[in-house]
Amino acid sequence: MQTNIPSRNTIKLTRRGRLALVVSGAVLAGTAVAVPLLTLDSDKPARPRTLVIPEGWRAGQVYAAVDKALTLPAGSTKQAAAKAGLKLPDAAEGNPEGYLYPATYPLDDKATPQSLLAAMVDTANKKFSAAPVAAGAQRDYMNLYQAVTVASIVQAESATKADMAKVARVVFNRLERGMPLQMDSTLHYALGRTTVRTTAADTRLDSPYNSYQRMGLPPTPIDNPGEDAMHAALNPAPGDWLYFVTVKPGDTRFTADYAEHERNVAEFNARQQSLAAQRSRAAQRTPSPEPSK
């Protein structure tokens, strides 16, 4: 699609990497009778007592974490999601993306994929249906599902909490001007990957999540946003920004001027090339392991 915005080959901003935090419990034996039993099972990992879902995880990451926490075969939770009877909005059409709320969930002996997913969706509904949130969505002429979708983009594109309200403003400024969002995070969601670079070939992807070619918001959220991202989506910072790029950690630059944005992107690219060269030199200096005898 032709737009009034010059195309570019590099990402504006990458999403933050996240790691699951699964807290393991310890079993204490207090009698002589229990000691042999404990010894017999000592080689088995203790079942975790809580499951932490970080902000910005995609549904696939949540499913995998539940499988691992409940020691289930890979894919079990994804299959269970379709039969879990989750209380999702009609607009979601059964897709829980955006509604697997990031929080800490208890894992008791009765925990199942269905019960955990239901708890996440119920938590999301309570958070998102709160009066200030619902009123904020209506104020910005969005329905609640659209607000969650914006929040998911804000979550994916923001390097820090401080950037979130500005990223939200860029989203709304582009929507209001009839411009494509051109958010790399939506492309990466369609491709099922996370990366710091987007190529020109990527932007030609035939997908409803390709916000370079498709106008408006993607059809669903692209991750599961947290409270800060939702707040930013409902309370964007004032500003005329249309572009942003994180040149280096802690240095995200917002601008309404495309020429200035191009200079910022060039600085970002130069830094990435320099870092790649440093890694290459470091790898060359690392001695190869000696062959085993």
CA pair distance 71, 182, nearest whole angstrom: 39
Across 178-236, the runs of DSSP E, i.e. the strands, are none
Does position 86 have pLDDT exceeding 50, yes or no?
yes
Q: What is the CA radius of gyration of the chain?
A: 22
- Looking up tokens 């582009």, which residue turns up? 174
Q: In the prediction, which pLDDT does 9 show?
A: 38
Task: Give the global pTM.
Answer: 0.80
107-131, pLDDT tens digit by residue? 999 999 999 999 999 999 999 988 6
Supply 102's token pair: 């990031």
pLDDT over 70, % of the chain? 80
> Dihedrals φ, ψ of 262, to 5°?
-60, -40
Task: Report DSSP state, residue 262.
Answer: H
Pairing between β-strand 48-52 and β-strand 21-24 as defined by DSSP bridges = antiparallel
Does position 45 have pLDDT exceeding 90, yes or no?
no
Q: In the prediction, which pLDDT does 18 show?
A: 32
Q: In the prediction, which pLDDT does 5 show?
A: 41
